[in-house]
């Protein structure tokens, strides 16, 4: 039985063409670090880092590659913003759909006198924008929102959130873990101050590398959380305040950078809109099929338009973990069950604490995969 990989919300598989080759090329032919040598291979590695920053800026509409930080992933970028910005007495707004990548650092920061409120979302996971405006306080410093829920797939109206943030002089952190590469993001038009991205999901690169794109004003305000050698300004023991060195101490993940650079060139050559269209067609097919199946509950929107291809299903009266196990052992279908690191999202959707079985589609998913999943759901739900 050939496995059918339907867990793209966790990580993409397969990766973009050229990703593996670029990583092997680095490890076997280049091998040098960046910013630390003047020989040719070190210069080449520096150029690949620059190319990655430039392509990310092009994809997400930012005009300054020095404000594109290379990080180990979305979680890292989110932490850089929360810990580097917030001070005692500051207040943060989040949605009720956040991932623990946002909630756990905020829970830790509570001990330092930082408070937060959750903006309510409806039963599909869409944010209540008027409630957001009412919850802003004079000490609100940041709004941190997941662009699309990794549980329900609902995509928030980032442009509207950005407008409210701008009107109130509040920074806007967008967690792009579920939309980077899947859904168009225009940092400038949407008024985004910080965009945290993993390289291994919609950008189709390897794990352990991602990016944090910062507006110039936030980049200048933010304190670096981790400091150390940058290969630059080596005469001083103080962290340089110029970008990106201010936030990039230590030797970076160069195999990851080479892999991601190749992957984002592929994503850019195809265009994010093409990925969105393809995934929306798959979503439409899946939703059409689900409508004919009685004994399942979809925790998320039935409309294929303002959503990503992430579908959480509850099989009432059955154990979701057992369903996921049977999906693999009887049908070769790989999904993820449980609470998906997002207890607050499941509370919002009414699926806490039992969780759901999540089917998520992406690069490489075919109509045949969707039909196989529907057939399996039909059989399992009727047991
Ligand atoms: N936010 C959301 C909404 C996510 O789905 C994830 C990954 N599951 C993250 C943040 C964290 O991403 P990473 O594990 O790549 O740091």
Ligand 1 center to residue 42 CA distance, Å?
A: 31
**For the chain, what is the total number of helices (H) and then of strands (E)?**
12, 13
Q: Whose CA is nearest to atom 6 of ligand 1?
A: 177
CB-based contacts of 37, cutoff 8 Å, min separation 6 = none
CA nearest neighbour of 73 among 208, 183, 191, 261? 208
Predicted confidence (pLDDT) at residue 150 exceeds the cutoff of 80:
yes
* Domain residue ranges in the chain: 4-14+272-381, 19-270
Q: Which CATH architecture has domain 19-270?
A: 3-Layer(aba) Sandwich (3.40)
Predicted confidence (pLDDT) at residue 37 exceeds the cutoff of 80:
no
Predicted confidence (pLDDT) at residue 284 exceeds the cutoff of 80:
yes
Domains 4-14+272-381 and 19-270 share a fold: no
Q: Is 175 in the pocket of ligand 1 (CB under 6 A)?
A: yes
* Inter-CA distances, 370 with 92, 285, 357, 360, Å: 39, 7, 15, 10
- Stretch 322-337: mean pLDDT: 97
* 383 band by pLDDT with thresholds 50, 70 and 90: confident
Ligand 1 center to residue 292 CA distance, Å?
A: 32
CB atoms within 10 A of CB 201: 27
Percent of the chain scoring above 70 in pLDDT: 100
Alpha-helix residue ranges (DSSP H) falling in the chain? 19-25, 40-60, 74-85, 100-109, 129-135, 158-168, 216-221, 254-270, 272-290, 320-331, 343-349, 367-381
- Stretch 280-296: mean pLDDT: 97
Q: Which CATH architecture has domain 4-14+272-381?
A: Alpha-Beta Complex (3.90)
Chain mean position to CA 152: 14
Ligand 1 center to residue 358 CA distance, Å?
A: 15
Predicted confidence (pLDDT) at residue 1 exceeds the cutoff of 90:
no
Ligand 1 center to residue 251 CA distance, Å?
A: 23
Predicted confidence (pLDDT) at residue 36 exceeds the cutoff of 80:
no
pLDDT in tens, 360-381: 999 999 999 999 999 999 999 9
Supply angle C-alpha 329, 311, 295, rounded to 5: 70
Chain mean position to CA 191: 18
pLDDT in tens, 251-273: 999 999 999 999 999 999 999 99
Ligand 1 center to residue 232 CA distance, Å?
A: 31
Q: Output the pTM of the full model.
A: 0.98
Cα gap 84→76, rounded to integer Å: 12
Pocket test for ligand 1, best of 96, 105, 150, 211 (most atoms within 8 A of CB): 150
pLDDT in tens, 176-189: 999 999 999 999 99
Closest ligand 1 atom to Cα of 146 = 3
């Amino acid at each position: 039985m050939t496995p059918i990989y339907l867990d793209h919300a966790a990580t993409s598989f397969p990766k973009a063409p050229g990703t593996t080759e670029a990583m092997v090329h680095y490890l076997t032919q280049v091998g040098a670090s960046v910013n630390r040598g003047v020989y040719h291979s070190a210069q080449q590695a520096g150029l690949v880092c620059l190319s990655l920053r430039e392509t990310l800026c092009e994809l997400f509409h930012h005009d300054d590659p020095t404000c594109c930080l290379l990080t180990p992933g979305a979680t890292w970028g989110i932490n850089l913003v929360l810990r580097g910005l917030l001070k005692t007495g500051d207040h943060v707004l989040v949605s009720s759909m956040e991932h623990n990548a946002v909630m756990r650092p905020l829970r830790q920061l509570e001990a330092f006198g930082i408070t937060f409120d959750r903006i309510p979302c409806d039963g599909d996971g869409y944010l209540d924008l008027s409630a957001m405006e009412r919850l802003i306080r004079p000490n609100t410093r940041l709004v941190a929102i997941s662009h699309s829920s990794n549980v329900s797939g609902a995509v928030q109206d980032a442009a509207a959130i950005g407008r409210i943030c701008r009107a109130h002089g509040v920074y806007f952190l967008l967690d792009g873990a579920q939309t980077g590469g899947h859904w168009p993001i225009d940092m400038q038009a949407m008024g985004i101050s910080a965009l945290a991205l993993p390289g291994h999901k919609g950008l189709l690169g390897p794990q352990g590398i991602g990016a944090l794109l910062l507006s110039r004003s936030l980049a200048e305000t933010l304190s670096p959380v981790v400091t150390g050698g940058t290969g630059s300004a080596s005469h001083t023991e103080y962290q340089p305040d110029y970008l990106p060195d201010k936030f990039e101490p230590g030797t970076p993940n160069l195999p990851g950078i080479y892999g991601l650079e190749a992957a984002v060139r592929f994503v850019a050559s195809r265009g994010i809109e093409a990925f969105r269209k393809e995934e929306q067609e798959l979503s439409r097919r899946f939703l059409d099929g689900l409508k004919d199946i009685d004994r399942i509950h979809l925790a998320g929107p039935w409309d294929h338009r303002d959503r990503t291809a992430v579908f959480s299903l509850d099989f009432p009266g059955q154990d979701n973990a057992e369903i996921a196990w049977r999906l693999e052992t009887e049908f070769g279908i790989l999904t993820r069950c449980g609470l998906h690191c997002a207890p607050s999202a499941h509370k919002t959707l009414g699926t806490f604490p039992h969780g759901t079985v999540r089917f998520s589609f992406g690069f490489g998913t075919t109509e045949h995969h969707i039909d196989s999943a529907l057939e399996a759901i039909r059989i399992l739900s009727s047991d």
